[in-house]
Structure 1
Amino acid sequence: MRSLKNQVTLLVMGIIALVTMIVILVFYLQARPILLMNTETEAKRDIAAAEAIIDLKHPGPWHTRGGILYKGQAEVNNNYFLVDYIKELTGASCSIYLNNVCVSTTEIDGDCYIRAVDQSVPKEVRSKVLEAGQIYLGQAEVEGRVSQAAYKPIINDDGQVIGVLYIGTRSSLYNSIIYGSMKTIGIAGLILAVLIALITRYFVDRKLVKSKPLREVDAEIWRSPKQELVHNSIKDNDFDMLDTLLDWQQELPKGLNPLTLKEILLFLLENDGDEVTVKDVSKSMSLSTVTVRRYLDYMEECGLVDVEQEYGSVGRPLKLYKLKG
């Protein structure tokens, strides 16, 4: 079973870890729409720039002839110079499709290290762009990678959709920002959890020391360096006697203090083998003789001391106290 301070430490670390996870989740939910909006804005800008570059380099309408896509008089099929030029200026990947099949692209087939032509338009794009003739902005899977993309229909002079122009945005910058921020928050939360847990453990230790039962505190005091020589001379069975007395603390008569009782017992242990009087104890410990007599009488009742009486010529007999052997 874990100690109280370990339980409190783990509880504090758990709470801070939970709060950190909530902060990260809230940050992600708040930042993700901003990320998507920025990448969509960039995709719109890049696809507009791509169209302008194509019109500038190859004026004229889009059309097909013999299963080949043309822009003006320029053949687009396998025209990698055109798509590479667009990527160089915009930084975005570019692909051109004839109907549903890619005929020119900057994408590389990872298995063959050649241009990934003959690929189909992603299924999530097909109905909106090829069939409805609308622009698609959103995430799409291209060559096994999901990226923020823009797909715009290629329309000929007759208003027919004959292909698709694709731009894949550079979302890595935004991803690095958002995920980098989440990582930073997580690390900061971990460091904060450790620091607060250590501080909490320190204060819990102090609190536990302050709230220790009197018998535990006194035991530590008794074993201080000042008493080292005394304790070195005390036998093990004497400590057994002391432990027995400690167990009786809760049964002390009214008006008796456990600490004072143990101090008197220590005095008797220091004088092991010698008989002492009430005045001896009173003088050594700066206590009244009445007080000392009450404690010694109690110890006599508990069977901890032997008492002998020494008779003088006049007056009451003098009591001599000695620890039982």
Structure 2
Amino acid sequence: MRSLKHQILILLIGSLVLLAASFLLVLGFYMKDRAVAAAIIKAQTDLATCGEIIDKTYPGSWHVQDESLYKGPVKISLNNDLVDHLSQLTGDTVTVFLGDTRVATTVLGSNGERAIGTKVSANVAQTVLKDGQTYVGEANVVGQWYQTGYVPLRAENGQIIGIFYVGISRAYEQEIITRSLLTMAELGLALTILVALLTWFFIQRVIIYPLQNIALGTRDVATGHLTHKIKTSSAKEIGELEDAFNQMVEQIQSLTTEINRANSCSPGNDPLETKKALPIGYMPLSSLNTAGNFGETGLPKGLHQATLGQIVQFLQANRRPLSAEEVAEGVKLTRVTVRRYLEFLEHSGALRSEQKYGTVGRPVKIFIPQ
């Protein structure tokens, strides 16, 4: 069975991946429209650029001579150098029409050769040749769809005698979309990894470590070691679980103390004899070492030499009147446990006690080093 942190992390990463995939899908549809718009802008720009290059390279007016298209004195019909040069500059397909017929082009036909002699589509012919307007948009070019730009070519008298064309293939649009999606995917992956690492740290710090501490405390309860409280810094719900656990430990310790007292008063366990077994007498706290000067055989049932030494060390470091709660906080043990050791030291003569009365509440028992 997977651990809780692995299940939470898998759920989080799965959610992030699903969110990223949905985002990329929506972005793909959005980028498709943006790519079309970018292709249209490119077609308009390339039409203007190519027009300026042709005018500067071949000065003069457009005219028809011997059923061929000329620009000034230069023949444009079958001028592959011109269309190839413009195509290399723009990355577009380029065509020059005489009327509605291609006379110089980089567009290839189905046979793999230049589509010389093929016609422009009817809707483009209507817009450009008859209406005299520039056509920009999607058009069928020799059986393939392109984002295109068509501009009329006018003779010196203003008559429309041909068309100049640039076309941007769908591969250009696809390249824009793919490049944008790859960039967003890389950013999304980096953010996903960052969020996963932060979440891993958060889960470890706020959930897993506190639960592990409580689990260890539960094992201590199961093995009979009830001396340490659980202390965590976590979310409210885990903090409530911690408080409930500590209350359970104190209740178990109180119950254990009552049972031990009841057993000490049972027949054959004379409390006076038990009291005589304790090393009662004047034994100042300063004369005790951190082991407490008591062997395990000299301690009452339920007390441990190591815990006694820990409490003695704290008392020697803080030689002032202290309550059981203050000592418990200092040595990180429960108040019930610490009180039993303090009462034992009081019976041994290392401490004496007084009742401290406040303005409200019950009096507090204060233990004073001897």
TM-score (norm 2): 0.49
Q: Which residue of 1 aligns with 2:273?
A: none
Paired residue for 2:252, among 256, 261, 276?
Answer: 256
Corresponding residue SS for 1:282: coil
Q: Which residue of 1 aligns with 2:149?
A: 150
Contact 1:20 1:189 in 2 (8 A): no
Alpha-carbon separation, structure 2, partners of 1:84 and 1:220 = 83
Alpha carbons of 1:218 and 1:104: their partners in 2 closer, same or farther (altered >3 Å)?
Answer: same
Deviation at 1:193, TM superposition (A): 0.2
Q: Which residue of 2 aligns with 1:282?
A: 303
Alpha-carbon separation, structure 2, partners of 1:64 and 1:76 = 11
| Alignment root-mean-square deviation, CA | 5.0
Determine if the alignment matches structure 1 residue 44 to structure 2 residue 47. Answer: yes
Alpha-carbon separation, structure 2, partners of 1:80 and 1:101 = 15
Q: Which residue of 1 aligns with 2:118?
A: 119
Q: Which residue of 2 aligns with 1:14?
A: 15
Deviation at 1:32, TM superposition (A): 4.9
Alpha-carbon separation, structure 2, partners of 1:186 and 1:153 = 43
Determine if the alignment matches structure 1 residue 163 to structure 2 residue 162. Answer: yes
Q: Which residue of 1 aligns with 2:278?
A: none
Matches within 5 A, 1:208-219: 208-212=207-211, 216-218=215-217
Matches within 5 A, 1:41-120: 41-52=44-55, 55-56=58-59, 59-63=60-64, 68-71=67-70, 76-87=76-87, 92-109=92-109, 111-120=110-119
Higher relative contact order (CA 8 A, sep 6+): 1
Alpha-carbon separation, structure 1, partners of 2:252 and 2:176 = 71
Contact 1:98 1:162 in 2 (8 A): yes
Alpha carbons of 1:256 and 1:159: their partners in 2 closer, same or farther (altered >3 Å)?
Answer: same
Deviation at 1:136, TM superposition (A): 1.7
Alpha-carbon separation, structure 2, partners of 1:17 and 1:189 = 11
Give CA deviations for 1:202-226 in whole Å, capped at 9, x if unaligned.
Answer: 3213322344287622256799xxx
Alpha carbons of 1:86 and 1:181: their partners in 2 closer, same or farther (altered >3 Å)?
Answer: closer
Give CA deviations for 1:147-199 in whole Å, capped at 9, x if unaligned.
Answer: 44321123346654343111236998897677534422211211220231133
Deviation at 1:52, TM superposition (A): 0.9
Percent identical among aligned pairs is 23
Contact 1:46 1:92 in 2 (8 A): no
Alpha carbons of 1:176 and 1:215: their partners in 2 closer, same or farther (altered >3 Å)?
Answer: closer
Alpha-carbon separation, structure 1, partners of 2:119 and 2:298 = 109
Gaps of at least 5 residues in structure 2 are 226-244, 261-296, 309-336, 342-370
Deviation at 1:77, TM superposition (A): 4.1
Give CA deviations for 1:33-69 in whole Å, capped at 9, x if unaligned.
Answer: 873575145223223225415743xx4542376xx34
Alpha carbons of 1:129 and 1:122: their partners in 2 closer, same or farther (altered >3 Å)?
Answer: same
Q: Which residue of 2 aligns with 1:133?
A: 132
Gaps of at least 5 residues in structure 1 are 228-248, 265-275, 292-325
Query: How many residues get paired?
Result: 248
Matches within 5 A, 1:233-312: 255-257=251-253, 279-284=300-305, 286=308, 287=337
Contact 1:42 1:169 in 2 (8 A): no
Q: Which amino acid aligns with 1:46?
A: T
Alpha carbons of 1:145 and 1:205: their partners in 2 closer, same or farther (altered >3 Å)?
Answer: farther
Contact 2:61 2:155 in 1 (8 A): no
